Amino acid sequence: MNDLTLPRRQFLLTSLGGALAVRPFGILQAAPRLPEDPFTLGVASGAPRPDSVVIWTRLAPKPLEGGGMPDHAVPVDWQVAEDDTFRRVVRKGRATAEPGSAHAVHVTVTGLRPGRWYWYRFKVGQAVSPVGRTRTAPAIGTGADLRFAYASCQQYEQGFFSAYAELARRDLDLIVHLGDYIYESSWGSRHVRKHNGGIPTTLPEFRERYALYKLDPDLQAAHAAFPWLSIWDDHEVANDYTDDRSPVTPDRDQFLKMRAAAYQAYYEHMPMPVSARPHGPQAVIYDEYRFGDMVNLILLDDRQYRSHHACLPGRSASPRVDCPERSSESRTMLGEAQERWVDQALAGTKARWTIVAQQTLMAERDLDPGDGHGFWMDGWDGYAAGRRRLLDSIATHRTPNPVVIGGDVHAFFAADLKRDFHDEKVEVLATEFCGTSITSEGPSAKGIASVRAKNPHIKYARGDKRGFAIVTLNKKRCEVGFEAVANEKERNSPVSRIASFVCLDGRPGVQEA
């Protein structure tokens, strides 16, 4: 699966300790000298294709003071090599870090070989960045196994990023992040560190919040170790927002200005392809990635285009409610254009496994412990017709081995997905594995027990642990492991597996491994 040529510990030390031991750049034109290290936020890569990846950095010698860069463009040299010593440089060039983009750099490196590891770095003046490692996707026609992790919900104040320190040590091909990369607000108990400033609403404030998160060395290590695929959820902008409406910012024009700032800051700080560059308050982040003949990975955006909350006009989406509007055919989680796009993606996939990566729990979750029904309007239960249409697409197109992954709800879930969750005899169409949060507080044990009792299609649920999930795919099976941090309130807390599941080729449904 992985042609690793550098011991894991040695790679991490090289990545986080700079590039002093590797060969000099040898790029002819000199860039301006900066008085301080501009690479405080590390490096990252993403959007892996068989012949290309995106490499990223942001120049910020004073990351929590507006960045500390001059108000003009700065040339940034970059290299990509087949080895960690940069003796076999295969691509190099010069990019421009613009002040209008917070001096962030996104380079789409093309002409690479499929299914192999590369190392990359940047240089400005005499300053050389940490070394990052990335991997291209296998070529179509090859049947290489794939192993990836997925994570979400990393409230900075509520814990340390020990999960990312562990991920950086794992044997993976990539990391998928499913949203809530930052939190705009302070909440929860037993904080171990603090946000800087209040709730961000402007572009400089959102940039500073991202800088705070990205200064974390464990998060930097995970970015430097593997390529990432990323989608946002709500906390990158405002809790429980729907399309152009926010529960806490009632003025639509004001909210859209804030959303434009938030989307811009997200793009500036993530290794996104140029196709995801925002245009004001709009950005297209849904996309499709193919990993040989093994996996077709579909990324969705269930936040930007969704219908406004049902049953709770102008209020928080948190209360458990139900009403006829919840099941209206007009309601959509993805928007009409994205629904058409995902239908075509599900129809056209030829890989052995189809991974649908989206933000939250897709399975129905009746939260009323009694004889009635109560649902969370911010999840798929508030968009029941949209969920049914997506599952109808899977059934109609006979999408091969569909597996849905999600986050958002701060708990581990494993569930069977089907058209009618109330009929145990109805065909299972897909399998769902929802990961817990990196740090954000989870639901109570009582609430989890109630959900299990009321929803028999949910085969596993646990909300008291923080962590991530690991997915391993081969021709015969999809294996999923739920990995839990012992104590997210402690630095360098150990991680262990608490549950394992398997899906077999051609047989959707949760099975314990």
Residue in 286, 302, 452 with CA at minimum distance from that of residue 387: 302
DSSP label at 230? E
Decide: 415 and 458 in contact? Cβ < 8 Å. yes
Q: Per-residue pLDDT averaged across 92-97, rounded?
A: 98
What is the pLDDT at residue 36?
Answer: 86
Sheet holding 458-462, edge to edge: 287-291, 295-299, 353-357, 402-406, 430-434, 412-417, 458-462
Helix (H) or strand (E) holding 92: strand 89-97
What is the pLDDT at residue 390?
Answer: 98
| pLDDT tens for each residue of 315-365 | 666 778 999 999 999 999 999 999 999 999 999 999 999 999 999 999 999
Residues 283 and 310 in one domain: yes
What end-to-end distance do the CA atoms of the chain give, in Å? Answer: 21
What is the pLDDT at residue 143?
Answer: 93
Q: How deeply is 454 buried, as exposed, middle or buried, from its count of CB atoms within 10 A (0-12, 13-18, 19+)?
A: middle
| pLDDT tens for each residue of 256-302 | 999 999 999 999 999 999 999 999 999 999 999 999 999 999 999 99
Reported in sequence order, the residue ranges of 152-217 that DSSP labels E, i.e. its strands, are: 174-177
Residue in 382, 424, 384, 401 with CA at minimum distance from that of residue 480: 401
Residues 45 and 151 in one domain: no
| pLDDT tens for each residue of 174-226 | 999 999 999 999 999 899 999 999 999 999 999 999 999 999 999 999 999 99
What is the pLDDT at residue 24?
Answer: 58
d(Cα 127, Cα 170) in Å, to the nearest integer?
29
Average pLDDT taken over every residue of the chain: 93
Work out how many domains the chain is built from and give that number.
2
Flag whether 3 is in a domain: no
In sign, the C-alpha dihedral spanning 323, 327, 328, 332 is positive
Q: Among 106, 135, 164, which residue terminates a domain?
A: 135
Decide: 310 and 329 in contact? Cβ < 8 Å. no
Residue in 356, 355, 351 with CA at minimum distance from that of residue 293: 351
Q: Per-residue pLDDT averaged across 467-493, rounded?
A: 98
Q: Which residues, listed in sequence order, are joined to residue 175 by a DSSP beta bridge?
A: 149, 228
Residue 15 has pLDDT above 60, yes or no: no
Residue 234 has pLDDT above 70, yes or no: yes
In sign, the C-alpha dihedral spanning 260, 262, 268, 272 is negative
Residue 9 has pLDDT above 60, yes or no: no
Q: Domain of 122?
A: 8-135
Q: Among 75, 105, 135, which residue terminates a domain?
A: 135
Q: How deeply is 350 buried, as exposed, middle or buried, from its count of CB atoms within 10 A (0-12, 13-18, 19+)?
A: exposed
Contacts of 36 (CB under 8 A, 6+ apart): 61, 62, 68
The domain spanning residue 480 has which CATH number? 3.60.21.70
What is the pLDDT at residue 319?
Answer: 78
Flag whether 290 is in a domain: yes
Flag whether 140 is in a domain: no
What is the pTM assigned to this prediction? Answer: 0.94
Residues 454 and 403 in one domain: yes
Q: Among 135, 168, 201, which residue terminates a domain?
A: 135
Residues 381 and 493 in one domain: yes
Residues 429 and 352 in one domain: yes
Residue 13 has pLDDT above 70, yes or no: no
